[in-house]
Amino acid sequence: MQLHVNRSFSANEGGYHMEVERQFHQLYPKLKKYSYFLAKNKWDAEDLIQETFFKAMKHYHSSEISAALLNKIAYHEWMDTVKKRKVEVFKTSEEKSKEDPACKADRLIDLAKLLVNHLTPKQAVIFMLKEAFSYQSGEIADLLDTTEMAVKSTLHRAKNRLNHNTSLQSIDSFWQEEERKKLYDLLYRSLQADDPVILIDCISTLHSLAETPILAKTTHSYSPLNMYSMAA
């Protein structure tokens, strides 16, 4: 991980930043180990490390900063993150319970259509399992008989397609129309029942998941759904 020391925390001494960077690079290995222990995954751990360094720089002089202090800051920062996520999950569940059934059905239909019309079959399945049902990349890799790295790469491409309102590549060559309809139905029913098993049980029957044709260039734009509401 590349450390990015925030230069906005200035001091009178010209060598302050050099001293801080030297000190943080010395303390980084221990903080990294502790952050990975707390977060259990690379991405959250790296965010935690960065936030810990920033808070240490903002609130403490370089002479006060130690491995113990950084671990303390990291612990409280991670606890705050966990609490915020629990609140978000609660709010999402509450909103779902209050949602009008007809509105919910329309939203799920739109989401299922969005995925099968703008993603490849594999991207649609991986995106659904990860974003809607919170499966880990390793679990998805096992289900699709692929590697965790391949899952992360596919998910990244799927998010790029859904996030950018720019020229995109055609995905029609990845699809057989019959399977597009079948996967749409599986995605919709899984979302409606809040049950990923409906989709998972039929993965082996989706032959399009194994297809990897060369994409053709085309221009296409649309307004994607909000990512947070997709997981609701």
pLDDT along the chain (232 residues), means of 10: 47 57 85 90 87 88 88 91 70 57 78 89 92 89 90 89 61 82 92 91 82 38 37 38
Instruction: Determine the Cα angle at 179 with ends 173 and 180, to 5°.
Output: 70
| Cα→Cα distances 23→28, 57, 61, 72, 199, Å | 9, 11, 12, 17, 50
Asked whether 140 and 129 are in contact (CB, 8 A), the reply is: yes
Asked whether 175 and 118 are in contact (CB, 8 A), the reply is: no
Predicted pLDDT of residue 123: 93
- Pick from 68, 93, 118: which residue ends a domain? 93
DSSP bridge partners of 217: 169
- Pick from 93, 115, 137: which residue ends a domain? 93
Mark whether 48 and 147 lie in a shared domain. no
Whole-angstrom Cα distance, residue 138 to residue 122?
15
In a 13 Å sphere around the CA of 63, the CA atoms on its Cβ side amount to 0
Mark whether 114 and 212 lie in a shared domain. yes
The domain total for the chain is: 2
